[in-house]
């Protein structure tokens, strides 16, 4: 048996990936059945990967393969034939051996059917094995260019394209009616007890009011009271407009809690003086209890969320409508609020990616429609794919989960 040059043997060990279990035995083109038996006797692990170079005479005939099979049985070794030579592989398979084209390849399915991602990975492994064979001087050098070209083609067709998938799950509306308590002494929102903080909105304004005095009559206290009453009535009419100028954008004001008071007055005539009119210049304070509409919506959303079944989620869009109020005192108000939302199934974008990657657009659309309850047909777009298939890499697929629209409220 000839000896393999030390430099070549070291290079082969560096460039070849050893299987996770078992032992590798590499034959030399000058080996015969006797030297093969000696090499097998020196092994200690199982299975034994017997790397047969193309054209090895002792194993290119049926008699040699049968003798090798008997030797492996006698030694109690599980033998796997690894060879680029199709004649060696065919003879070995016919005589009961497991075979591989290279140490990098795996045993494929008998029917040869694979999904596109697995097929692309198998092709990449095959081409990598070819490259290894070229490096180990088992294949002609010109095959290097062919292998690199095929590997690049596989990458361009399967992994380089991009895709966009949009799915809209089907939803159903949910409703809730909540009695919300607004308290001036509350500092935070309590969704479970439906309590939100309230605050008093205050504004001051100046009003002028003139009343007529009967002819020949002096000005009396009742005339001043008439002027004050007229000013307060005007202030109540204008209260919401006055408070609107000082409230924050999210404030909602209860008109039922509006209070108007005089904080300053100046009459142009004295009591007992005779004059056709009496004019009052008054400073009026207007105040009312207000609440933050977003905090009220937060309480309503919490009530709707309690109706969401497991595995579903509440949409961002909700509708709210306030109802009647029950003012309990100057610092507390209870009011009714009605809310509507929509719930729908949770869809994991990663599940969508793993489901459609590598498939044609039509098949991907069908898979999504069969596996999810959708409000409308899924949108699948592919960019830069000559084959019209989605990329085999999930990170090349953009997935958008759209929320279903809230249907109009029934009349």
- Helix (H) / strand (E) element for 2: namely none
Q: Does residue 125 lie in a domain region?
A: yes
pTM: 0.54
Q: How many structural domains does the chain have?
A: 3
Strands 162-167 and 379-383 come out as antiparallel
CA atoms of 50 and 59, how far apart (whole Å): 11
Q: Which of 103, 133, 168 is the last residue of a domain?
A: 103
Residues 197, 152 within the same domain: no
What percentage of the chain carries pLDDT values higher than 90? 41
Residues 93, 132 within the same domain: no
Better pLDDT: 94 or 112: 94
Q: What are phi and psi of 64, to 5 degrees?
A: -65, -40
Q: In the predicted model, what is the mean pLDDT of the chain?
A: 82
Residues 91, 194 within the same domain: no
Domain limits for position 216: 181-293
| Residue 81 clears pLDDT 80, i.e. is over it | yes
CA atoms of 161 and 361, how far apart (whole Å): 13
| Residue 393 clears pLDDT 50, i.e. is over it | yes
Q: Band of the pLDDT at 173, cuts 50, 70, 90?
A: very high
CA atoms of 45 and 21, how far apart (whole Å): 8
CA atoms of 202 and 328, how far apart (whole Å): 20
Are 390 and 382 spatial neighbours (Cβ–Cβ below 8 Å)? yes
Residues 190, 285 within the same domain: yes
Better pLDDT: 11 or 63: 63
Could you read off the pLDDT of 296-332 as tens digits, one per residue?
999 999 999 999 998 899 999 999 988 888 767 767 8
Concatenate the DSSP letters of all residues of 41-68 into one string: HT--SSSEEEEEPTT-GGGSSHHHHHHH
Q: Does residue 234 lie in a domain region?
A: yes
Q: Does residue 90 lie in a domain region?
A: yes
Q: For residue 258, give Cα distances in angstroms to 3, 208, 296.
A: 106, 21, 20
What is the mean pLDDT of the segment spanning 352-360? 90
| Residue 245 clears pLDDT 80, i.e. is over it | yes
Tokens matching residue 321: 């409508």
| Residue 196 clears pLDDT 90, i.e. is over it | yes
| Residue 361 clears pLDDT 70, i.e. is over it | yes
Q: Does residue 257 lie in a domain region?
A: yes
Residues 197, 151 within the same domain: no
Residues 138, 81 within the same domain: no
Residues 188, 252 within the same domain: yes
Which residue reads 């935070």 in tokens?
188
């Amino acid at each position: 048996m000839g000896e393999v040059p030390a430099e070549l043997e070291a290079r082969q060990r560096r460039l070849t990936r050893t299987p996770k279990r078992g032992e590798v035995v590499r034959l030399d083109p000058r080996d015969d059945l006797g030297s093969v038996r000696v090499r097998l006797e020196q092994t200690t692990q199982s299975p034994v990967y017997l790397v047969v170079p193309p054209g090895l005479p002792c194993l290119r005939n049926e008699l040699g393969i049968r003798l090798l099979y008997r030797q492996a049985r006698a030694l109690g070794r599980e033998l796997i034939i690894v060879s680029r030579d199709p004649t060696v592989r065919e003879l070995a398979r016919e005589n009961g051996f497991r075979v591989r084209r290279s140490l990098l390849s795996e045993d494929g399915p008998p029917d040869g059917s694979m999904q596109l991602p697995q097929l692309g990975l198998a092709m990449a492994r095959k081409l990598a094995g070819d490259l290894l064979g070229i490096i180990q001087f088992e294949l002609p050098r010109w095959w290097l260019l062919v292998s690199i070209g095929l590997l690049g083609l596989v990458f361009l067709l399967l992994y380089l394209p991009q895709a966009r998938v949009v799915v809209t799950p089907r939803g159903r509306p949910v409703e809730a009616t909540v009695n919300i308590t607004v308290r001036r002494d509350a500092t935070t929102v309590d969704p479970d007890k439906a309590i939100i903080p309230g605050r008093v909105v205050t504004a001051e304004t100046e009003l002028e009011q003139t009343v007529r005095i009967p002819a020949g009559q002096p000005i009396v206290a009742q005339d001043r009271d008439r002027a004050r009453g007229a000013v307060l009535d005007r202030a109540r009419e204008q209260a919401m407009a006055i408070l609107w100028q000082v409230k924050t954008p999210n404030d909602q004001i209860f008109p039922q809690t509006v209070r108007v008071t005089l904080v300053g007055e100046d009459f142009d005539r004295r009591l007992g003086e005779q004059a056709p009119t009496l004019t009052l210049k008054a400073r009026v304070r207007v105040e009312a209890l207000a609440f933050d509409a977003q905090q009220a919506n937060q309480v309503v959303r919490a009530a709707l969320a309690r109706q969401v079944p497991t595995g579903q989620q509440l949409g961002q869009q909700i509708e709210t409508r306030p109802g009647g109020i029950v003012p309990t005192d100057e610092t507390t108000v209870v009011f009714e609020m009605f809310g509507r939302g929509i719930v729908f199934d949770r869809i994991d974008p990663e599940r969508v990616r793993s489901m459609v990657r590598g498939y044609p657009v039509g098949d991907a659309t069908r898979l999504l429609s069969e596996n999810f309850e959708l409000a409308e047909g899924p949108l699948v777009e592919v960019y830069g794919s000559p084959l019209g298939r989605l990329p085999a890499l999930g990170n090349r697929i953009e997935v958008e989960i759209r929320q279903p629209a809230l249907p109009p409220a029934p009349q």
